[in-house]
Amino acid sequence: MSALAPPPVPLPPLRPEPPTGGPPKKRRANESISTWRWTDRVGYVLMWAAGLLVVAIGFGIVGYMAFRGVQYLRPELVFGHPQADLDQSKSGGFLDPLLGTVLLTLIGIVIATPLAVAAATWIVEYGRPLWLARIVDSGIEIIAGTPDIVIALFGLVLFQQGIFGWMSFTAEDGAVFGRSFLTAGAMMSLIALPMVFASTREGLQAVPGHVREASYALGKTRAATIRRVLLPSVRANISTGAALGMGRIAGDTAIVVVLLGASLRLDPEGSVPGLDVLKGTGGTLTSYVYNNSPAGEGNAPEKAYAAAFVLLLIVIFLNFSVDLIARRGGRRTGLDTSRLGAR
């Protein structure tokens, strides 16, 4: 009778099997600031101090203007027209400057948005010839860094030419006034254009390449891909840039003083309804605040605080709109657009 063969010895697995509980989690090393070098600790404290200082300054400005604004803000100021009177209690409200702010902001952003979107789309999707794309990009950067007063003076010289006489008042001898909502809005668009351009360009650059390839595979041309795929996907970026640009326009003063006249009331020009206001002069909340501050001629600080508080509410609303638009756009498209709000 033959001896039984020994049972086979199981071979060890080629790869060690992971534990049933899954791969071990990496533990974050407990790092204490006390182990840092003293230079790093000083830098860390200074960064915290700088952040807290910026927050304190922001809350201080908003809190002070809210306290003084609510103290003097009344419904008759918001819905009353300004009146020329030495007695400040009878000089009316700031309805005309408020309407001027809204009108000028709309004109500026309506002009800036299509130009900025078209320029950003051409640079990202075409960019040929390369030398022309670099010139356009550099030109927009120059506009972004140009002081507002320089833009205002350039606009005044430009729009006083006879070819632009239809945009403002023209005297009987052919002299062009050059000041109106149309001319001021055209120059205001240069302030908002770099923001819309930057937001749109970053949004287009963030769109994955396979999105374009899938559109081309379906037989779409480049133009159709831009119109039906790319631009709808960066709609939130465009809205973000437009909201930031509107905040810049609403807070500008130099262009208002030089190209709009900075008057208290709207002064229409012409007989065509609607167009007469666009060709006329007026003012905004920024010019109203300056004129009624102790530094201006109105010497009505109470009304200046009330108007400044309303202007601050408009700017805060636009800033919150930027963040809301960016967050909703990021959730809908899957792209990270929230970082554009900091531009």
Q: Where are the alpha helices (DSSP H) in the chain?
A: 38-72, 75-79, 95-125, 130-145, 148-159, 181-206, 209-217, 222-225, 231-233, 235-250, 254-259, 275-279, 285-292, 301-333
**Which pLDDT belongs to residue 300?**
80
Q: How far apart are CA 164 and CA 170, in angstroms?
A: 10
Task: Give SS3 for 220.
Answer: coil
pLDDT value of residue 7: 58
Q: Write the pLDDT tens digit of every residue in 182-221.
A: 999 999 999 999 999 999 999 999 999 888 889 889 888 8
pTM of the predicted structure, to 2 decimals: 0.79
Rounded CA separation 36/74 (Å): 56
Q: How far is CA 63 from CA 72, 81, 91, 202, in A?
A: 14, 28, 27, 34
d(CA 302, CA 94): 12
Of 69-83, 148-162, 274-288, least confident by mean pLDDT is 69-83
Q: Which two tokens stand for residue 199?
A: 């937001």
Q: Which pLDDT belongs to residue 284?
A: 92
Min mean pLDDT across 98-107, 149-158, 274-283 is at 274-283
Backbone angles phi, psi at 82, to 5 degrees: -65, 145
Dist CA 331 CA 336 (whole Å): 8
Sort residue 220 into left (φ over 0), alpha (ψ -120 to 50) or beta.
Answer: beta
Flag whether pLDDT at 340 surpasses 50: no
Structure tokens at 116: 């900025």
Higher-confidence position of 294 and 47 = 47
Model pLDDT, residue 185: 94
Q: Is the pLDDT of residue 343 over 50?
A: no
pLDDT band at 323, cuts 50/70/90? confident
Q: What is the pLDDT of residue 27?
A: 56
Number of other CB atoms surrounding residue 71 within 10 Å:
11
- What pLDDT score does 341 carry? 41
Determine the pLDDT at residue 139.
93
Is the pLDDT confidence value at 49 over 90?
yes
DSSP-derived 3-state class of residue 271: coil
Q: Is the pLDDT of residue 88 over 90?
A: no
Q: How far apart are CA 288 and CA 285, in angstroms?
A: 5
Give the Å distances, CA to CA, from 100 to 19, 73, 109, 116, 296. Answer: 70, 19, 14, 24, 19
**Mean pLDDT over all residues of the chain?**
84
Mean pLDDT of 145-155: 93
* pLDDT for the residue numbered 138: 93
When pLDDT is cut at 50, 70 and 90, the band that residue 140 belongs to is very high
